[in-house]
Amino acid sequence: MSIAVCPGSFDPITLGHLDIVRRARRMFDVVVVGVARNAAKNALLGPEERVGLARAALAADPATADVRVEVVPGLLVDFCREVGAVAVVKGLRGGADFDAELPMALMNRHLTGGSTGLETVFVPGDQRFAHVASSLVKDVARHGGPVDDLVPPGVADAVRAALGGGAGARSRG
């Protein structure tokens, strides 16, 4: 049985993330979405809220209904060892993603002693979502723009609430 982890900040989960998890699930018997902390980013949503939104979105699609969602409490490689993963799956929207992801993949390989037991698999995302990033979703929402068609149901409301709620999100500096 092959197990893969799809890690990320998921702050919030987007339609682009769902596309990658769906593709990962077609390649691996078991997929675990790992909601982790990116030290380079300040999260808008708390980890439990990010987990809840991801769980609801994945459960709503029969293709991903059996995907687990868990918080990654520390290093991703430790989490992967605990769940028995043989692969980390990350989506690529373009070259900038690859440039950001390659050092992380190599660091994770370094942390596993260079073993071949855990490989990072890069999956090109659907081009329809090439412009969809959690950071842009938050920025558009912060300025009162529409983001409902970029994220699963319920996520846009959660983002707006976290930003201060509805029209209030528009007036935040």
Residues serving a catalytic function are: 17, 41, 93, 134
Q: Closest separation between CB of residue 39 and ligand PNS, Å? A: 6
Sole window of 7-15, 61-69, 139-147, 162-170 interacting with ligand PNS (rule: CB under 6 A): 7-15
Instruction: By CB under 6 A, tell whether 75 contacts ligand PNS.
Output: yes
Sort 99 into a burial class: Cβ within 10 Å, 0-12 / 13-18 / 19+.
exposed
| Strand boundaries in 93-147, DSSP class E | 119-124
Q: Among residues 41 and 172, whose Cβ is nearest to ligand PNS?
A: 41
Instruction: By CB under 6 A, tell whether 135 contacts ligand PNS.
Output: no
Sole window of 6-14, 138-146, 149-157, 160-168 interacting with ligand PNS (rule: CB under 6 A): 6-14
Tally of CA atoms within 13 A in the half-sphere of 112 that contains its CB = 24
Q: 131: helix, coil or strand?
A: coil
The answer to whether 129 touches 20, Cβ cutoff 8 Å, is: no
Instruction: Tell me if the bond preceding 73 is cis, omega within 30° of 0.
Output: no
Q: Among residues 140 and 144, whose Cβ is nearest to ligand PNS?
A: 140
Out of 5, 18, 76, 141, the residue judged to bind ligand PNS by CB under 6 A: 76
Instruction: By CB under 6 A, tell whether 43 contacts ligand PNS.
Output: no
Least Cα distance to 26 among 98, 121, 117, 94 occurs for 121
Instruction: By CB under 6 A, tell whether 38 contacts ligand PNS.
Output: yes
Pairwise CA distance, residues 29 & 83, whole Å = 13
Instruction: By CB under 6 A, tell whether 107 contacts ligand PNS.
Output: yes
Pairwise CA distance, residues 30 & 32, whole Å = 7
Instruction: By CB under 6 A, tell whether 159 contacts ligand PNS.
Output: no
Q: Output DSSP code: residue 153.
A: T
* Count, residues near ligand PNS per rule CB under 6 A: 13
Residues that bind ligand PNS (CB under 6 A): 7-9, 36-38, 41, 72, 75-76, 104, 107-108
